[in-house]
Amino acid sequence: MKNLARKNILKIKPYIPGKPIEELKRELGLEEAIKLASNENAFPPSRDAIRAAEKSLRSINRYPDGGCFYLKKALAGRLKVKPENIIVGNGSDEIIVLALRAFVKPLDEVIIAKPTFLIYEIASKVHDAKIKFAPLKDLRYDVKKIASLISKKTKLIFIANPDNPTGTYITKDEMEFLISRIPKNTILFIDEAYFEFAEDVKDYPKTKKYLEKKNIIITRSFSKIYSLAGLRVGYGMAREGIIDCLNRAREPFNVNSVAQAAAVAALSDAKHVEKTKKLVENGKRFLCEKLDSMGIGYVPSVTNFLLFKVNKDGKKIYRKLLRRGVIVREMSAWKLDNCIRVTVGTMPENKKFIKALKESLP
């Protein structure tokens, strides 16, 4: 079958998802296992969101609202932009794909940091884009390097802010420098999937105000702070002209009706957001203190996860953690050897992880 595939498709390393918890338990004969591998919210969704999702199930004989009318209206009110400046996606991931579909033709250039969120590279390869990589500097995006790679052929620049897997962020000054270097025919794609965890950091940029000045797409997610990862819903903001192009590239019913209903309800539950922020702050502090006391270096993070380095074989430690019922991400796919990324969980989960880590280190 491989001889039928496009050449670029064969160059893509498939994204390897983690094992389902139940499967891991069965395989290793564990009574309990916890997943701290995908930067999800440890809390279940808000009760209002669950109720709205359940109610919407009664009409899943109908197609969803292809225009996401109510969700866009709710987002527009919240974000103080017009519904015409918003697109909703099957996760914010889908908007990455739509941007490539709408704006990038084969051999157009895209700029991507290395390492960063893997989907930018995978989706760009699917679209036969020419990728220019900008290596991180001290595990942070290097905006000068990115600016130096811009050419007349650059169509899209992908920025994860905050970044995954490092948890670091581009400051307001760095973002302003980058925005000042964006030519007329280039779109800056700012992925803010972890926005809510970073928004209170003093020099984290408030990018919404640049939307009308330049060709910028900002994406955010319901998967993280709103606990709706399983429903797949995220959104993008941009000038009307950009949103119009993204909509033309979109499948008509890309966001299912249960996701739309749950997202509308989740948006008005401010308590859930505050509760999650507190959980993550306290959990992160606990994890940092424990890693400090074990002499393990980690990257200061403004997200709901931490990247740390073990002195020994990271894959081995990862497997030892698995056997103790703790699923984390080992980072060799990102070429961050001996690094592990752990999502902040509930306090009992964080404690279980630290105990398992202590037992796993030689």
Binding stretches for ligand PLP (CB under 6 A)? 39, 91-93, 117, 160, 164, 191, 193, 221, 223, 229, 234
Q: Give me the least distance between CB of 234 and ligand PLP, in Å please.
A: 3
Size of the chain, expressed as the number of residues it contains? 362
Residue closer to ligand PLP (CB basis): 117 or 204: 117
Residue closer to ligand PLP (CB basis): 39 or 168: 39
Residue of minimal Cβ distance to ligand PLP? 91
Identify which of 131, 143, 79 has the alpha carbon closest to the alpha carbon of residue 107. 131
Residue closer to ligand PLP (CB basis): 168 or 221: 221
Cβ burial, residue 83 (10 Å; 0-12/13-18/19+): middle
CA separation for the pair 49, 97 (Å, rounded): 27
CA separation for the pair 307, 120 (Å, rounded): 20
Q: Give me the least distance between CB of 221 and ligand PLP, in Å please.
A: 3
Prior bond to 115 cis, omega within 30?
yes
Residue closer to ligand PLP (CB basis): 222 or 308: 222
Residue closer to ligand PLP (CB basis): 191 or 196: 191
Could you give the angle at the alpha carbon of 118 between the alpha carbons of 198 and 160, nearest 5°? 25
Q: Give me the least distance between CB of 141 and ligand PLP, in Å please.
A: 12
Q: Give me the least distance between CB of 308 and ligand PLP, in Å please.
A: 17
β-pair partners for 158: 189
Q: Give me the least distance between CB of 94 and ligand PLP, in Å please.
A: 7
Identify which of 175, 222, 160 has the alpha carbon closest to the alpha carbon of residue 196. 222
